[in-house]
Amino acid sequence: MPESEAHFHYWRTLLWSQWRFTPPCPTTSWVGKTVIVTGSNVGLGREAARHFARLGATKVILAARNVEATEKAKAWIERTTKCDAGVVECWPLDLCSYDSVKKFAARCETLVRLDCLLENAGVSKYRFRMAPSPALDELQMTTNVISTFLLALLLLPKLEETARAFDTQPHLSIVTSELHHQTTIPERKAVRSGKHASLLEALNDPKTASRSARYPVSKLFQVLLVRELTTRLASSHCPVIINCVNPGFCHSSLTRSFAPIAYIGKVLMRARSAEVGSRTLVHAASAGPISHGQYLSNCEVALVGNFVRTKEGHAVQQQVWEEVLGRLESIVPGIGKRVPEFSRGS
């Protein structure tokens, strides 16, 4: 599809989905199941967790950094769903801290089962900011990409164990964005010119990093990594359904660091409420095998960005995988062994 036609299709689809489509309320039962929702102290994550509790989940783990806000979310979910005491639990998780991610994953080993890891937590910042030491990357890349996939690979064995022990299909769902359509990673120019040796290095340089494109870039990384991960897992017949989901343009705290004009955009685009947007997350977390490795939008499999589907996009996908996996190996040596080697051939 030519680039101009792809942009037209993107905007037409976006406007239709925001103005004319309302995601249906989830009805799939979660009785007997355990689910983790990251970033569930507010917004989409909190509303998704509420749906899981409403639909009968045995355990809903709210994973977030702000303990006080998470406890308030727990009380609100219990009050509004009338779920049994003990169903909702609050576990601390700070995606800016690799140690926090590793401790959280270790605690998950105590769970009897894990049916879904819904990775909703993310940040969007206009100003450049490195994550706190010892993290090695810019804040948005650390939170939205490095720590998100660190947690995914650390918990993949638990999800697989649940599949075997309970004859079920667990889900690993990552909340991404339609904004991945709007970037081809401008920092690639700095790598091609020899100014930087890698994409991650270029993204960590405030002089070459694009501020306005940083969030879309992090979301494109997510889409590319999900596609590459599921491709590499194909040979091992992984029983876990892995997908990524776009909730649409929603009212949330994600853009709180942006100028007031962002709120005008929400009005013009008819931004979805957090509850309505969260319905897409719950759908992805219970979608069938057809969703494996796919990008979901409006509660169905949708086309990824045009760049992702190009020959160049495929090459960047492998580059992104190798760089991110290399970073994860520096955090947890041997973590790459959880993903089988895959050769595309020549």
What residues are annotated to the active site? 215, 219
- Whole-angstrom Cα distance, residue 305 to residue 284? 19
Instruction: Report the interhelical angle of 147-166 vs 98-108 (nearest 10°).
Output: 10
Report how far residue 269's alpha carbon sits from residue 231's, in angstroms, rounded to the nearest whole number: 35
* Residue 237, token pair as written in the block: 């017949």
3-state secondary structure of 56: coil
Number of neighbours of residue 204 by Cβ within 10 angstroms: 20
Query: Token pair for residue 71?
Result: 């406890």
Q: Rounded to whole angstroms, how far apart are CA atoms 89 and 209?
A: 38
Residue 211 CB burial class (10 angstroms; 0-12, 13-18, ≥19)? exposed
261 backbone dihedrals φ, ψ, rounded to 5°: -60, -25
CB 73 within 8 A of CB 126: no
Cβ neighbours of residue 121 closer than 8 Å, sequence gap 6 or more: 38, 39, 45, 63, 64, 93, 95, 143, 148
